[in-house]
Amino acid sequence: KSDSDTYSCDIGDAQSRAKLVVQEKPLVFKQELRNEEAKEGKQVKLTCELSKPGAPVKWMKGDTVLHASEKYEFKQHGTVAELVIRDLKSVDA
């Protein structure tokens, strides 16, 4: 996208110009979340892979947006986004 701009070819007495518009690829999941089972009191890691590195990710449980805490840890390495849920309880299902 940052390559979008006006480009020109200059031969001294004349100049030709063209506008280049680069359309971004849509952001998609290369690997979606998988169902997991874990024991109460343990932790679980949910992982998905995106088509672009560094894309903004919002983690949710049902309709509730999750925030980083001692319970929830978010990690993002390139195209891989991870949610770690600690000290699992039955209400975390």
User: What is the domain-level CATH number for residue 78?
Assistant: 2.60.40.10
The answer to the question of residue 17 being in a domain is: no
The answer to the question of residue 7 being in a domain is: no
Cα 89 to Cα 93: distance, rounded to the nearest angstrom: 8
The answer to the question of residue 10 being in a domain is: no
| pLDDT tens digit sequence for 2-18 | 899 999 999 999 999 99
Cα 54 to Cα 11: distance, rounded to the nearest angstrom: 41
Please tell me the total count of domains within the chain: 1
The answer to the question of residue 8 being in a domain is: no
H or E segment to which residue 44 belongs: strand 44-50
Domain of 59, in residue numbers = 29-85
The answer to the question of residue 66 being in a domain is: yes
| pLDDT tens digit sequence for 37-50 | 999 999 999 999 99
